[in-house]
Amino acid sequence: MITVISIINNRHIAKNYLLKGLDKQTAKYELLLVDNTASVFTSGAKANNTTASKASGDYLVFIHQDVLLRSKAVLQLIEDQLSTLSRVGLAAAVGMIKPRVINQFEAYTRYLVLLRLGLGPLWFRHYGRGNNLHGLNMSPWGGLFIKDPVSVQTVDEFLLVVPARIFERTKFDEVTCSDWHLFGTDYSLSIQRKGYKTFVLPISVFHRSKGSISVQYVQTLAKVLEKHKEEKVVNTPWGLYPTNPSFRSLSSKIGDVIGWPYGRKIAASNLLYQESSAA
């Protein structure tokens, strides 16, 4: 059985998206909703860790309040597919494959050249996987749609699935991810370090939000990159990042030239990393 966990700060959105999709599911599930309208919790990692301690399901589905399950069989499909995969540590609806390149300089150079040419979507088309629609116009998120599970490096945390037995031993990192961002990316990398795999599943979902960039996001990003510096590069649904700060310094020189959010976020991340290192 699945336990569905969601942190709620807008009851209207939760009713029209999350609960609407759950009501149509054919599989049995346990539902744990946390009313956070009073901001009792200040981080996604802390809120989900605390709530998961009350779960009784074999699989834990951590899902945002503005996610609509577009098929009545989504939860059943999650259970069926995870039962056939080996070494599963984490699954999600959207994720990014790690580039197969000689070194981090090659990977980052390719990424930055695409951004500079205004061809950034090609990167996400090539490396992104997941059957997600997002935004109020319900547009494809940018990655390739899939028919079978795909092993990836990182995922987006708007929908995460963790086997309960895995989560008992490895929970979300409340120190590295002390706000609402990137705890899925961090968990992906942490669980792979322990010999498990991260998968994107071919499930039909709609995420109302397209995500946003904030100071808190780039601060957490810097901590995640420092924690996982053995990865060389971290390919996320929001962009590619080298873990070596000397490579990231390259972005500050061109970030102001790239005329879209990815370039500005890379430059901001580098600046915040330098500040946090100096502190």
Alpha carbon 38 to its chain's center: 25
3-state secondary structure of 35: strand
Residue located via tokens 């300089």: 105
Cβ atoms of 39 and 131 closer than 8 Å: no
Superfamily of segment(s) 1-94+130-210: Spore Coat Polysaccharide Biosynthesis Protein SpsA; Chain A (3.90.550.10)
Cβ atoms of 153 and 96 closer than 8 Å: yes
pLDDT computed for residue 260 by the predictor: 40
pLDDT computed for residue 250 by the predictor: 54
Beta strands in the chain (DSSP E): 2-8, 29-35, 59-63, 67-69, 88-92, 95-96, 128-129, 132-134, 139-140, 150-151, 154-155, 159-163, 197-200, 205-207, 233-236, 239-242
How many angstroms separate the CA atoms of 134 and 125, rounded? 15
How many angstroms separate the CA atoms of 219 and 69, rounded? 31
pLDDT surpasses 70 at 247? no
How many angstroms separate the CA atoms of 159 and 233, rounded? 23
Assigned token pair, 87: 């070494």
Write out the residue limits of the CATH 3.90.550.10 domain(s) in the chain. 1-94+130-210
Of 156, 149, 224, 238, which Cα lies nearest the Cα of 190?
224
Best-predicted range by mean pLDDT among 28-32, 255-259, 261-265, 275-279?
28-32
Q: Taking the CB of residue 148, how many other CB atoms lie within 10 A of it? A: 9
What's the pLDDT tens digit per position in 11-67? Answer: 999 999 999 999 999 999 999 999 999 999 999 999 999 999 999 999 999 999 999
Looking at residue 118, its amino acid is: G
Cβ atoms of 48 and 4 closer than 8 Å: no
Length of the chain: 279
Q: Pick the residue with more confidence: 271 or 196?
A: 196
Q: CA separation (Å) from 95 to 25, 92, 191, 238?
A: 24, 7, 15, 10
Across the chain, mean pLDDT equals 86
Which strands sit side by side in the sheet containing 205-207, from one edge to the other? 67-69, 205-207, 132-134, 139-140
The model carries a pTM of: 0.86
Alpha helices by DSSP H, listed for 170-214, are: 183-193
pLDDT surpasses 80 at 108? no
pLDDT computed for residue 246 by the predictor: 66
Mean pLDDT across 233-254:
73
pLDDT tier, 101 (very low <50, low <70, confident <90, very high otherwise): low
Mean pLDDT across 136-161:
91
